Amino acid sequence: MVEEDSMIEEDLKYAYDAVRVSNKLLKSQLQEQQQELEGLRLDNCSLKQLSKQQQSLIQDLQLQQEEGGLQHQIVQLKRENLDLKGQLEMQEKNMLKLQKQLKTSMKQIQDLTGRFQTAAQPRRPPTLPAYVLFMCFRYADSGHDEHGIRSLFAAVVSGIKQVVKKHSEDFGVVALWLANTCCLTNCLRQYGGDQSYRLANTPKQNQHCLKNFDLASHCQSLGDLAIQIYQQLICGRALGFHHPLARLSSVSLPSALPVAAMLESETMQGLSSPRSPSYRKQPAAPAYRLDSLLQQLSSFHEALGRHQLEPVVVGQAFRQLLFTVSSVALNYLLLRRDACYWSQGLLLSCNVSQLEEWLRAKGLQQSGAREVLQPLIQATKLLQVTKTTQEDAEAICCLCTALTTLQIVKILQAYTPAAGLEERVSPSFISSVENRLAERTPAGPCQLLVDTAHLFPVHLPFSCSPVQLDELRIPDSINLTFLTRV
């Protein structure tokens, strides 16, 4: 029993020693692990510091690279700014140079138009200025000079306007520049980009067509300018008679050429006018005769033909002129009671017949000029027909289709019968005519006086020129030394 206890105690002692040795071993291992952990912590801190330093270095490198790129960009921008500054200075110099050229071109164009401002001589083509100007356009087109074309066009329009304004009372100068403006417009179309205007060109003419620019918009502007010149030609003071008559509502009217020639020119001897006792003789006026009017119309026709205006344009011009003559004379009849009598109608009919004969002699019978004389022709017939029965009233209504109701009634009321041969037109007859006219279908206009300022729309046709540009020669007498053929 004692031995067993001793053995157990011994075993426990051995076990205790083993446990104590094991604890020491574990403790030493724990210390080693703690030391290793501490070393890892230190290594981790070192790595973090190294990582921060590395990132800082990377950022520094990036900043240095960015600063280097910015400096490079700054240097490049400085170079570009210097280049742009040089280009700007060059453009400013070019602009000053072009402004001087523009002033010189405008002066030369004005000089050119001034040299041609008088009527063309027989040996000189009247439209030579237009061809010279067009060849200047061709020169600018061949050099691809868009600015030159714009400045040249502005100078041409300005020069033509100045010449026409300065010589507004000279029919020949205005007609000359109407013809040349139309011719220049036709040249820009004939040698432009629209193939429809080239159909009649010869192969040689097609070689002269514009190569780089389409001047269609310039054609429109020149066409508008030509219409303005045409209206100045027709309505201007160069015609030599009033258009329209001043103070038409006045009792004492001036004897303008149309009235004097048509109503006061006694082309038929023995015709006398029945004057009322209260009539006072008008102040003496220049002795205009129908021959004077026809002579002036003939001189206008000759001038337009001499400047080679298109026959269509000439016809439109004389249609407008004879409308003026007809409307002024008709208004005179409507405003003067002492002008409405039978012999006046006979005289007026004779004068109108001579006008129609003049139109036929000049080949203007298809121009529409005869049609604008119809109101005056019908007024002359109204003065000559009998004005008594209902049949007469019906005949008047059928005859006077170009006159308004107010005009017919006014002439009937103002009609002065021949002493001892006619009776005054009765109010019942006038009422009968007025009632019949009221049944017209459709009803016509109701104005009394004709608007003498009315202008018919004008059409300026295109005409292909047969002129060969390379065969044109500028006479030395014109003294255009600044122009050189190239």
Q: Tell me, what's the pLDDT at 248?
A: 31
Q: How many CB atoms neighbour CB 285 within 10 A?
A: 13
The yes-or-no verdict on residue 38 having pLDDT over 60 is yes
Matching residue, tokens 């067509």 = 209
* Residues in the chain, overall count: 486
Q: What percent of the chain has pLDDT over 90?
A: 36
CA distances from 4 to 9, 13, 404 (A): 9, 14, 168
Predicted confidence band of residue 461 (pLDDT cuts 50, 70, 90): very high
The yes-or-no verdict on residue 452 having pLDDT over 90 is no
The yes-or-no verdict on residue 313 having pLDDT over 80 is yes
Q: Tell me, what's the pLDDT at 360?
A: 95
Q: Per-residue pLDDT tens for 318-343?
A: 999 999 889 999 999 999 888 899 99
CA distances from 475 to 221, 406, 434 (A): 29, 60, 67
184 or 480, higher pLDDT:
184
This prediction has a pTM of 0.69
Q: Per-residue pLDDT tens for 247-290?
A: 332 322 233 566 667 776 555 555 545 544 444 444 444 456 78
Q: Per-residue pLDDT tens for 206-261?
A: 998 998 888 888 899 999 999 999 999 887 644 554 443 333 323 222 335 666 67
Q: Per-residue pLDDT tens for 129-178?
A: 899 899 889 988 988 888 888 988 999 999 999 999 998 888 889 999 99
Q: Tell me, what's the pLDDT at 224?
A: 94
Q: Which segment of 6-20, 244-258, 381-395, 452-466 scores lowest on mean pLDDT?
A: 244-258
CA distances from 181 to 189, 263, 278 (A): 13, 38, 55
442 or 428, higher pLDDT:
428
- Find the helix or strand (DSSP H, E) in which 337 lies: none
- Asked if 480 contacts 115 with a C-beta cutoff of 8 angstroms, the reply is yes
Summary mean pLDDT of the chain:
81
Q: Per-residue pLDDT tens for 366-405?
A: 889 999 999 999 999 999 999 999 999 999 999 999 999 9
CA distances from 256 to 15, 335, 452 (A): 161, 15, 14
Q: Per-residue pLDDT tens for 287-306?
A: 567 888 898 899 999 989 99
Residue 420 is classified by DSSP as: T
Could you state, in order of their start, the residue ranges of all structural domains in the chain?
Answer: 1-114, 128-239+464-473, 261-268+288-438
Q: Tell me, what's the pLDDT at 217?
A: 84
Q: Tell me, what's the pLDDT at 423?
A: 87
The yes-or-no verdict on residue 420 having pLDDT over 80 is no
Whole-angstrom Cα distance, residue 130 to residue 184? 5
The yes-or-no verdict on residue 411 having pLDDT over 80 is yes
φ and ψ at 341, to 5 degrees? Answer: -155, 170
- Asked if 344 contacts 273 with a C-beta cutoff of 8 angstroms, the reply is yes
